[in-house]
Structure 1
Amino acid sequence: MREGSLPSEVISIQQIQALGVNAADIKKLTDTGIHTIGQLLQMPVRKLLLVKGLSEAKVEKIREAAKKLGGEKGSFRSAIDVLRADESRIRITTGSKELDAVLGGGIETGSLTEVFGEFRTGKTQLCHTLSVTSQLDAEQGGGMGRVIVIDTEGSYRPERVAKIAEARFGLDPTSVLDNIRVARIYNVDDQIDSNFAIAAMLAEEEEPTRLIIVDSVMNLFRTDYCGRGELAERQQRLNQYLGGLKKIAEEFAVAVVLVNQVTANPDSTFAGADAKKPIGGHVLAHASTVRVYLRKGKGEQRIAKIYDSPTMPEADAVFALAEGGVVDAE
């Protein structure tokens, strides 16, 4: 894979037309958000049968064509092949060497990283910084790619990103902002549907996207679903949304950062329990590959704790918020 390109295994859904699949049937798939062979093979057959105009015979023909191009999803690989794939993932610097170290090198592509904490702990400032660093060259710890922002709170500030880009990294702020696509989302339905728009962009554009920011992931789910009577439906739809994001992250080698809120922990009276816990329940906990807890320190200092990670131990990192975004604490 050349630097800055999409993963070589990403194959456009349009290629199954050469194997005898009708163009009209391919359009039905793209209209439902399926743009690559990988997405098609990840889709359960029962959901494909819900697509209007696709019979059981057509679905079988489409899947057979996809398997010829993309192989069997879920087929076995040796552990060494899995390891090599993991080692090839890009890690995007947070702007702080100490924070990068506890994360194993930075924010990892192909994964969902959840960042949670109270207000003014640096969550959105981290996103502003990552919006710039993800565009840097690999030698600078960057991802050499574009950024997509799903803004559910109205907290994303392009002027802040521009200042970080120019003052700290000496980049042209106009060029940096031109590489960032922002969607202001106001309800859960549009938030879930944004996955389809993201997949379409990533499949069609030649320039790679390396980072997707969702700030915040739970805000609209808390607003649109109230009370215990709607909790089951909320969690079901949240699971659907996060599952879609995880597939996008893996398919397109994109890092996904989920900003999350916290609530009081009723178990905090017990020894060793935190006073705050992330919202979203077990659904969000299991979907996130890495979970990072931010809290306030002295002055502009902030403390990041690795709350959960499959590869890194629990550890703290101290960083600071400055004009240049997230930086190492002095």
Structure 2
Amino acid sequence: MHNSQLGHQLAVNVTRSEDSGGLDGDTVWIDTEQTFRPERIRQMAEALDLDVEAILKRIHVARAFNSHHQMLLVEKAQELTQDFPIRLVVIDSLTAHFRAEYIGRGVLAERQQLLNKHIHELMRFGDIHNTVIYVTNQVHAKP
């Protein structure tokens, strides 16, 4: 299963009741590469005979335009926890913006420091809100 597809399946599953194996919660999907597909959510929900519209309403999608915006969206997700039971955060892909903005070995340390801060904030979010954090990443030979 492709990483983005797994994210879609997790987003559907998390909305299910605890009796049905879910977490009865909402998802925040931080989309860095325009991979979120509501039609895929629809297919998965229909296959499980679930209410498609109810599931889509529980998935909060935000497009990240750069690495700083991506980090800001995690802060905004914190605010959403006041109104919604966020049980899953998906970032697809975690490093795409960082890789595009910090090119070459000369900025590798800066990029890694910023990425480490971002990962730390995600881990903190998960701990505080009892939330699953799912990130995708592509492997590349060059930093």
What's the TM-score bracket when you normalise by the shorter of the two chains? over 0.9
Q: CA RMSD in A?
A: 1.5
Shift in Å, 1:162 = 1.1
The CA deviation string for residues 233-281 of structure 1, in whole angstroms up to 9 with x for no partner, is 101110111111111100000000011111349xxxxxxxxxxxxx8xx
Alignment-mate amino acid for residue 169 of structure 1: L
Q: Which residue of 1 aligns with 2:37?
A: 157
SS of the residue corresponding to residue 136 of structure 2 reads strand
Q: Which residue of 2 aligns with 1:183?
A: 62
2:71 is the alignment partner of 1:192: yes
Shift in Å, 1:196 = 1.2
Alignment-mate amino acid for residue 222 of structure 1: R
Shift in Å, 1:193 = 1.0
Alignment-mate amino acid for residue 162 of structure 1: R
Shift in Å, 1:157 = 0.4
- CA–CA separation in structure 1 for the residues paired with 2:134 and 2:106: 29
Moved over 6 A (4+): none
1:252-267 maps to which residues of 2 (within 5 A)? 252-264=129-141
Q: Which residue of 1 aligns with 2:86?
A: 209
- CA–CA separation in structure 1 for the residues paired with 2:26 and 2:52: 14
The CA deviation string for residues 60-114 of structure 1, in whole angstroms up to 9 with x for no partner, is xxxxxxxxxxxxxxxxxxxxxxxxxxxxxxxxxxxxxxxxxxxxxxxxxxxxxxx
Aligned length: 143
2:95 is the alignment partner of 1:218: yes
SS of the residue corresponding to residue 36 of structure 2 reads coil
Alignment-mate amino acid for residue 103 of structure 2: C
SS of the residue corresponding to residue 213 of structure 1 reads strand
Q: Which residue of 2 aligns with 1:125?
A: 5
1:64-213 maps to which residues of 2 (within 5 A)? 122-166=2-46, 168-202=47-81, 204-205=82-83, 207-213=84-90
- CA–CA separation in structure 2 for the residues paired with 1:155 and 1:250: 26
- CA–CA separation in structure 1 for the residues paired with 2:110 and 2:48: 45
Shift in Å, 1:127 = 0.8
> Are the aligned partners of 2:30 and 2:63 in contact in 1 as well (CA < 8 Å)?
yes
SS of the residue corresponding to residue 263 of structure 1 reads coil
Q: When you count strand as a share of all residues, which structure comes out higher?
A: 1
- CA–CA separation in structure 2 for the residues paired with 1:156 and 1:124: 8
- CA–CA separation in structure 1 for the residues paired with 2:64 and 2:75: 14
The CA deviation string for residues 96-155 of structure 1, in whole angstroms up to 9 with x for no partner, is xxxxxxxxxxxxxxxxxxxxxxxxx51111111111001112232211100100000111
Alignment-mate amino acid for residue 18 of structure 2: A
- CA–CA separation in structure 2 for the residues paired with 1:236 and 1:184: 23
2:120 is the alignment partner of 1:240: no
The CA deviation string for residues 179-201 of structure 1, in whole angstroms up to 9 with x for no partner, is 11000111011011112101111
Q: When you count helix as a share of all residues, which structure comes out higher?
A: 2
> Are the aligned partners of 2:80 and 2:86 in contact in 1 as well (CA < 8 Å)?
no
Gaps of 5+ in 1: 1-120, 266-278, 280-330
> Are the aligned partners of 2:32 and 2:65 in contact in 1 as well (CA < 8 Å)?
yes
SS of the residue corresponding to residue 134 of structure 1 reads helix
2:107 to 214, 217, 230: 230
- CA–CA separation in structure 2 for the residues paired with 1:159 and 1:241: 30
Structure possessing the higher radius of gyration over alpha carbons: 1
Alignment-mate amino acid for residue 259 of structure 1: T
Q: Which has the higher contact order (CA 8 A, sep 6+)?
A: 2
